[in-house]
Amino acid sequence: MTLRDPRSPSVVVLLADGARPDTLAAAVDAGELPAIASMRREGSSHTITSVFPSVTGPAYTPFLHGRHPGPIGLPALRWFDRARKTRSWPHGARSYVGIGGLSIDDDVAPHADTIFTHSGGNVGSLACFNRGLLPSERLGRSAGFLLSLLGTHLRGDVARWHQIDRELGDEAAHRIARDCTPFAFCAFTGPDKSSHADGHDAPSVRAALRTVDDTVAALRADAERAGRWDRMHLWIVSDHGHSPVHQHEDLAQVVADWGPRVLAHPWVYGRRPDVAVMVSGNAMAHLYVGLADRPRARLGWPALTAKWQWMAERLLDRPSVDLLLLPIDAQGCEIRTRTRGTARVSAANGRYSYHPIDGDPLGIGEQHALDAQDAWDVTSSSDYPDALVQLAALAATPRAGDLVISAARDWDLRSRWEPIPHRSTHGALLREHMLVPLVTNHPIARRPLRTVDVMPSALSALGLPVPDGLDGQSFY
């Protein structure tokens, strides 16, 4: 238990997983979320960008590690470890869905600590990342609770996910009031589960958001009673958006039908696979090729051209593929599209460039040596918000696939094995997936751009130094 001066500042981040900014705004406008409506009125409300891949797990690293996911070791929710340095068995296939989620901290670079390490006291609830979080600070950590989470996942039990949100929201509010906790991060998975099942603007999603609103109301009532509301910074965020999916491509089967032995979840035990198809969200995928040669590092393009150009061409023929990304080296990647041509993204010394080769896949025109702010501005109203920074970050990770797909609108890349039927999807670089809300209870000093801005802002709000190497900027 943390005993501290109740006049000290505190930060509470409530993450409404998968909530789109327009879904949240519509529910507030309709009077369904009165506590969040008061926050919006008295504080501020913004639309900011998440990361690519726009999927839970990797998309939590901005909030807790203050970093884009790829460069600290998490290229996606499912990926393949060519180096075979992680603990996975037998082939290096990684998935953080279900029980695999327990090992996500082990795959993050050792030097990447979390805000939990710095804050001086925490509450963490369904945080995905628990480095620096004491067992006593973690809600729902008992073996029985984790088993019930696994059962809820396997059954695709959306109603039970909503109930878990209510239980953990109540417990978090109680703990924060009792202990005057400096930092709290509480994720609510109901909005995402209901969005997958019913669509992003369904009544069930609004019901899940009411649980977040109830938690805001409880936190505010407690803080006002204790005279701490002025010094409590309460923020509502999300990690990714959603969009309707009408067509499911069974990408692993498509590639297998072309001849290679394919490794894909959930069955990752086949002999001597040649290609790993790792889908996340499910609107993005990493493909790792030439595995029979047991590569330990990414070769990059154009070195792969002679042997694998055919696969790039056949993938581009699929209507499910919007952007085909071919990592070249740690500095950049090529973007290919079926009808909008080819371009190259590169980054050096924190500057981002975009060179159309033929056509303009991102629709932003040639760009040269932009800083992170300008790179955000030039893409923010495009179909691919923050594409330059996100593609550069993904190209920089040695764990990225040899071919990376961002799916077309209306499509995802997995047609079987989902406990909850997917009527809505995410994971891609599309704006419906990349744009997320940020609502604050007090006015802020600077316009926030990205979810990576949240951690340095939280440290600033707590009066703590912001360590070097974070990817965002404080909005205080």
Site residues for Zn ion per CB under 5 A: 192
Q: What is the largest CA-CA distance in the chain?
A: 69
Name the minimum Å distance from CB 192 to Zn ion. 4
In this complex, which beta carbon is closest to Zn ion, that of residue 90 or of residue 421? 421
Name the minimum Å distance from CB 332 to Zn ion. 29
Name the minimum Å distance from CB 281 to Zn ion. 7
In this complex, which beta carbon is closest to Zn ion, that of residue 32 or of residue 418? 418
Distance CA 6, CA 91 (A): 51
Q: CA nearest 250: which of 279, 270, 230?
A: 279
Helices 387-395 + 372-379 axis angle, to 10: 120
Name the minimum Å distance from CB 53 to Zn ion. 11
In this complex, which beta carbon is closest to Zn ion, that of residue 283 or of residue 444? 283
Is the distance from CB of 437 to CB of 238 less than 8 angstroms? yes
Name the minimum Å distance from CB 311 to Zn ion. 27
In this complex, which beta carbon is closest to Zn ion, that of residue 158 or of residue 364? 158
Is the distance from CB of 217 to CB of 225 less than 8 angstroms? no
Name the minimum Å distance from CB 302 to Zn ion. 35
Name the minimum Å distance from CB 77 to Zn ion. 9
Name the minimum Å distance from CB 328 to Zn ion. 30
In this complex, which beta carbon is closest to Zn ion, that of residue 81 or of residue 192? 192
Answer positive or negative: Cα dihedral of 102, 103, 108, 114.
Answer: positive
In this complex, which beta carbon is closest to Zn ion, that of residue 53 or of residue 260? 53
- The residues, ordered by sequence, that sit 6+ positions from 328 with a Cβ below 8 Å of its Cβ are 300, 301, 302, 334, 344, 395
In this complex, which beta carbon is closest to Zn ion, that of residue 40 or of residue 193? 193
Output the residue with the shortest Cβ distance to Zn ion: 192
Alpha carbon separation from 312 to 36, 233, 255, 338, 393 (Å, rounded): 46, 48, 11, 11, 21
Q: Residue written as tokens 């900014």?
A: 21
Name the minimum Å distance from CB 162 to Zn ion. 15
In this complex, which beta carbon is closest to Zn ion, that of residue 283 or of residue 396? 283
Q: CA nearest 470: which of 42, 34, 111, 77?
A: 111
In this complex, which beta carbon is closest to Zn ion, that of residue 54 or of residue 379? 54
Name the minimum Å distance from CB 438 to Zn ion. 19
- A 10 A CB-CB count for 102 gives 12
In this complex, which beta carbon is closest to Zn ion, that of residue 212 or of residue 328? 212
Is the distance from CB of 333 to CB of 393 less than 8 angstroms? no
Name the minimum Å distance from CB 211 to Zn ion. 17
Q: CA nearest 59: which of 414, 361, 450?
A: 450
In this complex, which beta carbon is closest to Zn ion, that of residue 202 or of residue 217? 202
Alpha carbon separation from 55 to 17, 21, 61, 116, 207 (Å, rounded): 10, 16, 11, 22, 22
